[in-house]
Amino acid sequence: MKKLVILTGAGMSAESGISTFRDSGGLWEQYRVEDVATIEGYIRNPELVINFYNERRRQLPAVKPCRGHELVAALEQYFDVTVITQNVDNLHERAGSTKVIHLHGELMKATSTRNPNDPSQIITLDADHMDIHMGDKAADGSQLRPFIVWFGEAVPEIERAAEVSSEADIYVVIGTSLNVYPAAGLVQFVPERAPIYLIDPKDVPWTANHRFRHIKKGASEGMEELTKMLKLIAED
């Protein structure tokens, strides 16, 4: 079974109604990135940051995976699929994808302020206990914080994502500006023999020395088109 690797960004979740950070009307216009998405902002005002992610977490039950998420999951019938996502929501999992690498953390998890990437400190929140409060402690006694990789922090899953990318037989990029590193650099690891498909309605800066096919559509419409093409490849 061929290895299909799919890198997804905000454009995928936007079709489910989740606000993006970069587009007009996005979250960056309502909050300063320095205040809610950096470790310095968290140290300055942890309550503001914790409440910001509490608000985002509360939105999750009200949104559903879009058709694009569902089509990605359905490709597991034909390929060995790994999803690498820059999104912190759980929509890929809810759509049925079984192998998902979250580069920027997971909104439904909390962790230690002292040792954020220690697996023993990470807990999964549930629908009945979605909020983190000031005074909530991790196992090591430090304040619980969102399990989110903020700007300037190490990306613990990037090496695994690079390894998976280097093993791809087919590579798909959906709904990402390819502006945020190190995620944007993953296309550099894709083998030359592997075709790359880019799904995005906009022009996307492309720095890799690798030809790609651009499907200039949104995530769901683009995945409808790509799925037909990939099924033909799977049948060969």
Active-site positions read 104
**Omega within 30 of 0 (cis) for the link into 61:** no
How does DSSP assign 200-228, residue by residue?
A: -SS-----SSS--EEE-S-HHHHHHHHHH
Whole-angstrom distance, CA of residue 150 vs CA of residue 155: 9
What is the token pair recorded at 200? 């995005």
Contact 197, 212 (CB under 8 A): yes
Environment class of 229 (CB within 10 Å of its CB; exposed 0-12, middle 13-18, buried 19+): middle
